[in-house]
């Protein structure tokens, strides 16, 4: 089959979408590493206030060239066939550096998920190489007006030659301005049917307007899209298929990945500010603000919350993968419990030393505190000091069914332990120079 489509290289009046050939990632570990590399490369761009308001062309070029946008392509179509857990983690990682770019990656993964699940083998075979080459997919789904989101005014009309014509207007079209392809929600005049069509970003009659203005995630390019008698080949007409049981939750869990990544990025930025740009309160008695007990406690509470969200996100993604592996199962892992539930208290039970510290918090440090440490602890509020003003103790916090350990030794008030078996390894290491 030969389809005559416009190229996706630079065209007058359109952003330059050209890029180097995308990297082929050989494993899920490589995909995670590639996401970290991209995040490290785009983070300085995000922090550069002189570049605020710029179209994120460079960031998306780096993302496509890394191969991260293609990891969902199944192995039988030449791709990695990454798990939902890995796809979710790549979105989270990118979102730590730039929530807007993470949103574009999230939406891209949702759009290609529908394409790659199509029952039409020729349809999948047409798009898979393009996804593997680094081409990105945006959406044009939402409309202004109508009784609800399914009351669409963008109409796909049949033409005498067997093709279609598309007319209408969309808004909040995330990623559309810098996408290579758009997934468009349409209504058909006969029978009031609805569906999605895929069309090239540079199709004649298609106009994308960069009019997205937001307080946050400013560079998602979620602008207006106008369709004026756009030619749509029959090959790209809506594909009827029964939605998978997890069709809706794919978008939702990837949204959760964005939010979790933004939270981690915000906390990291706050800690960096405290370390490098803020001063201690004059009456605190500390040389540095990062040594003030109240600051340590507050940041520690934030760390607890973010780390718990990361654990829950990972477990939810694993439940998603279990459901995909056994779609007919009522419980993701064969037990009668919800898909988002987490195994109870997996952390401390695996580490006798941490469990001992939790059950007898006074023994390790009662008589070994230097005077300066005792004075520091005495200045803490009662909620931080705990029973008998002991600075070194293990506490268990329950977030859902996850037990989180926090170590208060060496001024680590409120900080979560990433490894309960290694008490010295804590998030506070990112605060103290």
pLDDT digits (tens, 9 = 90+) for 105-128: 999 999 999 999 999 999 999 999
CB 108 within 8 A of CB 138: yes
SS3 per residue for the chain: CCCCCCCCCCCCCCCCCCCCCCCCCCCHHHHHHHHHHHHHHHHHHHHCHHHCCCCCHHHHHHHHHHCHHHCCCCHHHCCCCCCHHHHHHHHHHHHHHCHHHHHHHHHHHHHHHHHHCCCCHHHHHHHHHHHHCCCCEEEECCCCCCCCCCCCCCEEEECCCCCEEEEEEEEEECCCCCCCEEEEEEECCCCCCEEEEEEECCCCCEEEECCCCCCCCHHHCCEEEEEEEEEECHHHCCCCCCCCCCHHHHHHHHHHHHHHHHHHHHHHHHHHHHHHCCCCCCCCCCCCHHHCHHHHHHHHHHHHHHHHHHHHHHHHHHHHHHHHHCCCCCCCCCCCCCCCCCCCCCCHHHCHHHHHHHHCCCCCCCCCCCHHHHHHHHCCCHHHHCHHHCCCCEEEEEECCEEEEEECHHHCCCEEECCCCCCCCEHHHHCCC
- The predicted structure's pLDDT at residue 427: 37
Residues 46-51: what's their mean pLDDT?
A: 83
Indicate the fold that domain 141-236 takes in CATH: Butyryl-CoA Dehydrogenase, subunit A; domain 2 (2.40.110)
For residue 102, give Cα distances in angstroms to 69, 92, 294, 356, 430.
Answer: 11, 7, 33, 41, 24
Rounded to an integer, what distance in angstroms lies between the CA atom of residue 69 and that of residue 71? 6
Asked whether the predicted pLDDT for residue 20 surpasses 60, the reply is: yes
Higher pLDDT, 2 or 74: 74
Rounded to an integer, what distance in angstroms lies between the CA atom of residue 133 and that of residue 65? 8
Asked whether the predicted pLDDT for residue 346 surpasses 60, the reply is: no
Rounded to an integer, what distance in angstroms lies between the CA atom of residue 45 and that of residue 40? 10
Q: Which of 404, 292, 331, 16 is nearest to 180 (CA)?
A: 16
Percentage of residues in the chain with pLDDT exceeding 70? 68
- The predicted structure's pLDDT at residue 405: 32
Query: How deeply is 416 buried, as exposed, middle or buried, from its count of CB atoms within 10 A (0-12, 13-18, 19+)?
Result: buried
Q: Which of 131, 340, 322, 123 is nearest to 236 (CA)?
A: 123
Residues composing the chain:
433
* Pairing state between β 164-173 and 223-232: antiparallel
Mean pLDDT, the chain, rounded, equals: 76
The CB density around residue 334, as the number of other CB atoms within 10 Å, is 10
Residues 253-267: what's their mean pLDDT?
A: 96
- The predicted structure's pLDDT at residue 262: 95
Residues 224-236: what's their mean pLDDT?
A: 94
Residues 255-271: what's their mean pLDDT?
A: 95
Instruction: Point out the least confidently predicted range of 133-147, 288-302, 401-415.
Output: 401-415
Asked whether the predicted pLDDT for residue 9 surpasses 60, the reply is: no
Hey, what are 357's tokens? Answer: 């510290």
Rounded to an integer, what distance in angstroms lies between the CA atom of residue 99 and that of residue 121? 34
Asked whether the predicted pLDDT for residue 185 surpasses 70, the reply is: yes
The CB density around residue 205, as the number of other CB atoms within 10 Å, is 14
CB 377 within 8 A of CB 369: yes
- The predicted structure's pLDDT at residue 382: 37
Asked whether the predicted pLDDT for residue 416 surpasses 60, the reply is: no
What phi, psi does 81 have (nearest 5°)? 65, 45
Asked whether the predicted pLDDT for residue 27 surpasses 90, the reply is: yes
- The predicted structure's pLDDT at residue 199: 94
CATH of 28-139, one of 3.40.50.300, 2.60.40.1120, 1.10.540.10, 3.10.20.30: 1.10.540.10
Cβ partners under 8 Å of residue 394, min gap 6:
348, 354, 357, 358, 361, 405, 406, 407, 408
Listed by start position, the domains of the chain span 28-139, 141-236, 278-430
């Amino acid at each position: 089959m030969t389809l005559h489509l416009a190229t996706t290289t630079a065209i007058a009046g359109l952003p330059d979408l050209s890029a180097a050939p995308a990297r082929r990632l050989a494993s899920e570990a490589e995909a995670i590493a590639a996401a970290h590399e991209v995040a490290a490369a785009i983070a300085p761009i995000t922090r550069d206030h002189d570049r605020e308001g710029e179209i994120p062309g460079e960031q998306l070029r780096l993302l496509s060239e890394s191969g991260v946008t293609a990891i969902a392509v199944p192995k039988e179509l030449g791709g990695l066939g990454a798990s939902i857990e890995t796809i979710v983690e790549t979105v989270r990682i990118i979102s730590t550096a730039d929530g807007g770019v993470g949103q574009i990656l999230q939406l891209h993964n949702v759009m290609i998920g529908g394409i790659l699940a199509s029952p039409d083998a020729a349809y999948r075979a047409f798009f898979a190489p393009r996804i593997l080459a680094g081409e990105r997919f945006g959406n044009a789904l939402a409309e202004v007006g109508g009784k609800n989101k399914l009351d669409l005014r963008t109409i796909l009309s049949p033409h005498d030659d067997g093709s279609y014509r598309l007319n209408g207007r969309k808004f909040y079209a995330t990623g559309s301005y810098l996408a290579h392809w758009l997934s468009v929600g349409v209504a058909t005049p006969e029978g009031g049917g609805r569906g999605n069509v895929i069309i090239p970003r540079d199709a004649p009659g298609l106009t994308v307007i960069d009019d997205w203005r937001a307080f946050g995630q400013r560079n998602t390019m979620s602008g207006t899209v106008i369709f004026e008698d756009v030619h749509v080949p029959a090959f790209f007409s809506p594909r009827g298929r029964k939605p998978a049981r997890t069709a809706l939750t794919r978008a939702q869990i990837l949204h959760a990945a964005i939010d979790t990544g933004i939270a981690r990025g915000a906390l990291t930025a706050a800690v960096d500010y405290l370390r490098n740009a803020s001063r201690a309160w004059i009456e605190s008695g500390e040389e540095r603000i990062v040594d003030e007990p109240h600051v340590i406690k507050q940041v520690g509470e934030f760390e607890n919350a973010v780390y718990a969200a990361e654990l829950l996100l990972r477990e939810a993604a694993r439940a998603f993968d279990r459901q995909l592996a056994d779609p007919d199962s009522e419980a993701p892992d064969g037990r009668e419990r919800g898909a988002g539930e987490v195994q109870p208290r997996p952390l401390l039970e695996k580490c006798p030393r941490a469990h001992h510290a939790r059950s007898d918090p006074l023994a390790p440090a009662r008589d070994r505190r230097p005077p300066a440490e005792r004075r520091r602890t005495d200045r803490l509020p009662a909620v931080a000091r705990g029973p008998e003003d002991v600075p070194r103790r293990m506490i268990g916090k329950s977030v859902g069914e996850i037990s989180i350990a926090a170590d208060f030794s060496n001024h680590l008030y409120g900080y979560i332990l990433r490894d309960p078996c290694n008490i010295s390894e804590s998030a506070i290491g990112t605060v103290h120079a």
